[in-house]
Amino acid sequence: MASIMDYGGKIINTGDVINDADCMVNNADEMIHHAKSVINDADGGVNNADDVITNAKTIRYNADDGLNDADGDADGDADGDADGVMINVDRKNTAKSMTNSSTSLMNDGAEIITSGLKRCENGHKGAHVCDICHRVWKCKSALLEHYKIHTGEKNFKCNVCFKTFSRKSNLNAHLSIHTGEKNFKCDVCSKTFAQKSHLNVHYRIHTGEKNFKCDVCSKTFSEKAHYTSHYTIHTGEKNFKCDVCSKAFARKSYLDVHYRIHTGEKNYKCDVCSKTFTQKTDLNSHNRIHTGDNFKCDVCSKTFIRKFTLKVHYRIHTGEKNFKCDICSKKFMCKSSLNIHYITHTGERNYKCDICFKTFAQKTNLKSHFRTHTGEKNFKCEVCSKTFAQKSTLTKHYRIHTGEKNYECNVCSKRFLEKSDLNKHHKIHTRGKKL
């Protein structure tokens, strides 16, 4: 009995071990809970800490199983032989050792997370630095995504127009062009947008916010892209060159649109009359022909299907001419007019009629000329039903019905229907002849 009591004493001591192990398991539970909380607060924390915690939890569960087995054996075999008691003691020691390992691992996990938190507090996003531009990223996946900017890698392809993108999110946003889906609505004017970023930029129209200022001419812009594009006016920089005709452009988007001249690509189709366009802006402008939603001049009430055309038209009233020929110093209201004017100096005539081989400086002139061969007259006067081959001729003709005379002589104030008539009239004054 004495030896059994001795062994019983050992069992009592083992009970103390059980209590100690239980306390350590509870401590491990608390540390796991705390570690999880720290991970959440650290905005993801460090990935390795998750692995450490998982290992600690596994060890704790094994410790639980060992303790449960030991408890059962201790209660059932209290009156058994000494060998059974000694086995229980060994199990308790193993459980205690496993729980100690769990505690040690948890301390390591907490130390890793604390290090991550300190790094966040010090303003560091992470240890992932781009070795090209030295930008710092908080995770490796973000750095890998960033590298595509430098490599030009575009693995995501649109199955409608085959345009490629570096990110899937950009592809998804692009797909809305084809689907017409616009889920983001302005709560001021109810205009809808395919992307939230476009809505955010649109809001600046209502707020008048223009945070991007040109340090050369002090002009302000609501979008950085518009500011960057504007700045090339001052630098004259044109880094995007067409590999077909060698024409250079200040922006890649301009080059992309230009390429369609060579490819004949027209992806934007009017769902009313089926006419196709190379640019979405052209389609939007065309749609106003059907909707009647035009831009109106508040001086002369003339309407335009494009806002830009209205802006250029305003210069007729203001007399503003910002585009100057560097050869003869003649000034123009818009850049396109200046470009056309340059041809008078170069003599360049790149547009050739394939019927009579006559050449033209402008494509519009060639198209107008081509109608002399076809006899096509698509422009009809709504007053007298007379038809014309050119819209400009119809516009001039309308003035016969309206009596509109916009061209005034600055010497005698006589007014004319057409500018050419005014120019002829001016010669009377320059030759010193009286009217």
- Contact (Cβ atoms closer than 8 angstroms) between residue 75 and residue 37: no
Contacts of 318 (CB under 8 A, 6+ apart): none
Would residue 81 count as lying in a domain?
yes
**pLDDT band per the 50, 70, 90 thresholds, residue 181:** confident
The predicted structure's pLDDT at residue 356: 92
- Contact (Cβ atoms closer than 8 angstroms) between residue 182 and residue 192: yes
Which of 12-26, 59-73, 149-163 ranks highest by mean pLDDT? Answer: 149-163
Q: Is the pLDDT of residue 147 over 90?
A: no
Q: Is the pLDDT of residue 47 over 80?
A: no
Provide the residue range defining the domain that includes 62.
1-11+41-113
The predicted structure's pLDDT at residue 219: 87
Would residue 191 count as lying in a domain?
no
Q: Which two tokens stand for residue 319?
A: 């007399």
Q: Which residue has the higher pLDDT, 306 or 41?
A: 306
The predicted structure's pLDDT at residue 193: 87
Average pLDDT over residues 385-393: 86
Q: Is the pLDDT of residue 129 over 80?
A: yes
User: Per the structure, how many domains does the chain have?
Assistant: 1
**pLDDT band per the 50, 70, 90 thresholds, residue 21:** very low
Residue 304's Cβ-count burial label (10 Å; 0-12, 13-18, 19+) is middle
Q: Which residue has the higher pLDDT, 95 or 416?
A: 416
**pLDDT band per the 50, 70, 90 thresholds, residue 45:** very low
Which of 44-48, 202-206, 291-295 has the weakest average pLDDT?
Answer: 44-48
Q: Is the pLDDT of residue 290 over 50?
A: yes
The predicted structure's pLDDT at residue 120: 40
CA distances from 207 to 201, 211, 340 (A): 10, 12, 38
Would residue 63 count as lying in a domain?
yes
Residue-wise pLDDT for 257-282, tens only, equals 888 888 888 888 899 898 888 888 88
**pLDDT band per the 50, 70, 90 thresholds, residue 58:** low
Is 152 strand, coil or helix? coil
**pLDDT band per the 50, 70, 90 thresholds, residue 384:** very high
How far apart CA 218 and CA 187 sit, in angstroms, is 31
**pLDDT band per the 50, 70, 90 thresholds, residue 186:** very high
The predicted structure's pLDDT at residue 432: 57
Residue-wise pLDDT for 204-259, tens only, equals 889 888 888 888 888 888 888 888 888 887 888 888 889 988 888 888 888 888 88
The predicted structure's pLDDT at residue 30: 54
Q: Which residue has the higher pLDDT, 188 or 75?
A: 188
**pLDDT band per the 50, 70, 90 thresholds, residue 22:** low
Q: Which residue has the tokens 């002009």?
A: 219
Q: What is the pTM of this model?
A: 0.34
Q: Which residue has the tokens 């400009």?
A: 392
Handedness of CA 277, 280, 281, 284 (dihedral sign): positive
Average pLDDT over the chain, rounded to whole?
74
Q: Which residue has the higher pLDDT, 269 or 38?
A: 269
How far apart CA 95 and CA 106 sit, in angstroms, is 16
- Contact (Cβ atoms closer than 8 angstroms) between residue 201 and residue 190: no
Q: Is the pLDDT of residue 426 over 80?
A: yes
Residue-wise pLDDT for 71-115, tens only, equals 444 444 434 343 443 434 444 454 445 445 545 544 554 454 444
Q: Residue-wise over 280-293: b if at least 16 C-beta within 10 A, else e? A: eebbebbeeeeeee
